[in-house]
Structure 1
Amino acid sequence: MGRKIKNKFTLGLLCVSLPALANDSLLFEPIVGGTVTQIEVKSAPTTNTWPGWCGVRIQQTPNLINQKKLDQQSYYITSDGQRIAGRFEMDAPKASWRNSVLLSIPIDLENTKAISTSVLGKNIENTNDTVCLVNNDRLDGFIDSIDMTNGVGIELTKSNNSGDEKTKNKVTYIALNRVAEIRLSTKIKKPSGWRIWLQDGSVLDFDSWSDDQNQCRLSKPHAVGEMESATIPWNNVLAIAPNTNTIFPLVSCFWKVAEADQVINPRLSPPIIIAEYIPTAFDATPMNLHGPGVFRFTTPFVNCTLFTSVHIPTQLLKNIDCQATIECGEKIIWRGKINSEFKPVVLRLPITGSEFTVRLDQSSRGAFGCAIQLKDAILISDTCGNSPQPSPPPPTAPIKSDV
């Protein structure tokens, strides 16, 4: 049975972000494998002059993290992993998604994974189409259509979704004002080309890119087949990378916890990781690890580099007192005493095999004051290699004084 879309949507929320100041400084940080610290550059190579890095993170001052927390976006998620901020167009002849960069994007349910405000940085895996309602009820089945007048049409496949067996295998319509989220069980497609991460949480794929008068020009964006190119101010870009699966955010890794040994005041609840889902480069959202406990991570690569910075969670700045240890196999690869005098530290650690452990213990206050925050935590595959610094950038690349 094919899906169909009638008319148009009213779901979605348009949020306007304040532009970055014109005199903000930009630095381009190469992301490569290995433990050698890379030198930030004032300009980025283009597709044609790419030196073999895994990606580039754009560093900006001042940091706009407070702005990101205030924004609430709706996102259209495609089957190849693109995440497009915006809203449904109310005046389009067909259901379309309005984005500030790509403008009008036709909605194709066969290539849609989700439409939601709560998918930032999270993996979406559904075996059924699902409609989540504002009262937290959930309907499973097959989403047949989306209609501005009738709402979301779903063919219920489980009779426990309603009290009447007669509604099974019949299309039921839910008014849009009752819908909080839509998820579809479409087949996941492999991304291609290049990927860019933006300040509004968008993740877009395209064929190539170049600098165009201090803006990043994307050639042939994949979400809009007929569009030749689109431009984005560099101040709105968080990161760029080729779609080669060599960078993986730690927050998306499988992990499990265990109690730390010989803890004087053990936790009343299990150790926990709390992620703060905000727009970040490579979706590497901040992770707060609360101990005492042992956190075992399974990596997607056999050999890789853990690249992150260690901080004290803001609420514990004056009450922190514990020890943090990162181990790989039987080897301690980093250890630090975390107290009020601790200063943030950037780590580039070799991970051999496919597992490593973060241990939080020796807390003088038990569970209270035993935590660390990992920012920008990514795993970089060793297949990416240690690329040399690039040759001088092309004259059209943006420089610090120009932006």
Structure 2
Amino acid sequence: MEKIYVDNAGTTPMAPEVIEVMSQTMRDVFGNASATNSFGRKARQVLQASRQVIADSINAAQANEIIFTSGGTESDNTAILMTAKKRKNEGRHLITTKIEHEAVLKPMEYLEKNGYEVTYLDVDQNGLISLDELKQALRPDTILVSIMTGNNEVGSHMPIHEIGEIVAQSNAWFHTDAVQAYGITEIDVKRDQIDLLSTTAHKLNGPKMVGFLYERAGLELEPLILGGDQELKRRAGTENIAGIAGFAKAIELEQNERELLQERYQSFKTHLITRLRQKGVDFEVNGKHGADELPQVISLWFKGCASDALLTNLDLAGIAVAAGSACTAGSLEPSHVLQAMYGADDPRISETLRFSFGRYNTLAEIETVADKLAELCQRLKK
């Protein structure tokens, strides 16, 4: 049975080039980057070269503004919790949105239980905030605004440049969770006046358990992970040199092919929509399908077809999709993103699938997915 994977927003398969770099590094560069011997120096050279590649990828002013972490969750937690700790005497108000990833929402909830106030901005049916509402929410005691670059469930892309301009005129720092957008979209921390940025490697054909936090020079946050003096005393723990080298290779591949991949993913979206309509499937796009959205993610409401039934039957047919975030897919909780966009009682909340494309998908696979969906929707409605 042919297997088709269109759940790349959950994770991606590692690129062969990444595996090759990691294998070579594991074999030849096994030293501890903190050691003063020749093995340590060799590891440190790989670490610093990778740090420079990644710093360049977001136009960071200095390579040392990149702190390697275990992934997006740790990076988000560090940015939010350590900003709250450092700036608690300046204010205890934070701003975020109702459609953030749990890696942002859970730290915010934790802070609320510990004497902080959080404003959760609404989004419209395109999954976007109102810039006017952001301006109104900012206060003299606002210390952090955390707004994701691109949404992992519906693909909406926030107006990051405009948000950065607004926040820069306040006392707050601007953090963005760029996990779903990094690599496939252009990110410029200088242009967009971003103070803190989180991401991970496994969303762009790199390894799991490797990510980074961009921390603008001068913020000087305390480390979340305590121990040794690694990462210039900003994140304890011996660095995963092979994983970091693989991350650098993954972003090089993504940047070299960004425009090609963007065009390919947009064509997949268009083809999926067109073929479903040709097959007479009753569906709607959640949010919108356009050039200003994440190219690799699309969310569709299949009217009258339960998500769990579609997921099960597609999985039996060898097709992997998702109903929402992979981090919450194991629970029975409805999508907080769709609830924020459409309301808690909208039927689409239990009748939606997310399709997310990757570099190894083909147009033939998209046609197969559409045809199988048409067959399932017809059968389920009967």
Q: TM-score, normalised by structure 1?
A: 0.29
- Which structure ranks higher in relative contact order (CA pairs < 8 Å, sequence separation ≥ 6)? 2
Higher normalized helix content (fraction of residues): 2
Q: TM-score, normalised by structure 2?
A: 0.30
Higher normalized strand content (fraction of residues): 1
Larger Rg: 1
